[in-house]
Amino acid sequence: MSLANANAVSLAREIDWFSRVLETRICLYFEQPCDYADVQAIEPPDLTADDSEYARVVRENALDFDARLILILALLPHLQPQALDTLFIRNKNLDRGYAEFGGWQGKSHGGFLPTGETAAFLLAGSDLSRRFEILELFDADRPFARQGILRLERRDVDEPLLSGALLIASDYLSRFTSGVCHKPDYSISFPAKRITTRLGWEDLVLAPPVLAEIDNIKTWIKGSAIIMRQWGLEKSIKPGYRSLFYGPPGTGKTLTATLIGADVGADVYRIDLSMVVSKYIGETEKNLANVFDQAQSKHWILFFDEADALFGKRTQTSSSHDRYANQEISYLLQRIEDFPGIVILATNLKANIDEAFARRFQSLVYFPVPDAEQRYRLWLNTLNGKALLDEGVDLHGLAERYELTGGAITNVVRYGAISALQGQRNTITSEDLVNGVVKELRKEGKTLQV
**Ranked by mean pLDDT, which of 216-230, 264-278, 342-356, 435-449 comes out on top?**
216-230
CATH of region 192-366, choose from 3.40.50.300, 3.30.830.10, 3.50.50.60, 3.30.360.10: 3.40.50.300
DSSP letter at 59 equals H
**% of the chain exceeding 90 in pLDDT:** 58
Burial class of 101 by CB neighbour count within 10 A (0 to 12, 13 to 18, 19+): buried
**% of the chain exceeding 70 in pLDDT:** 88
pLDDT the model gives residue 371: 94
pLDDT the model gives residue 325: 54
Residue among 261, 270, 266 at smallest CA distance from 201 = 261
Residue among 109, 93, 291 at smallest CA distance from 184 = 291
**Rounded to an integer, what distance in angstroms lies between the CA atom of residue 78 and that of residue 7?**
14
**Are residues 261 and 301 in contact, defined by beta-carbon separation less than 8 angstroms?**
yes
Q: Class for domain 372-443, per CATH? A: mainly alpha
The string of pLDDT tens digits covering residues 94-112 is 888 899 999 998 889 989 9
Residue 447 backbone dihedrals phi, psi, to 5 degrees: -125, 155
Q: Where are the domains of the chain?
A: 3-177, 192-366, 372-443
DSSP letter at 62 equals T
The string of pLDDT tens digits covering residues 65-89 is 999 999 999 999 999 999 999 999 9
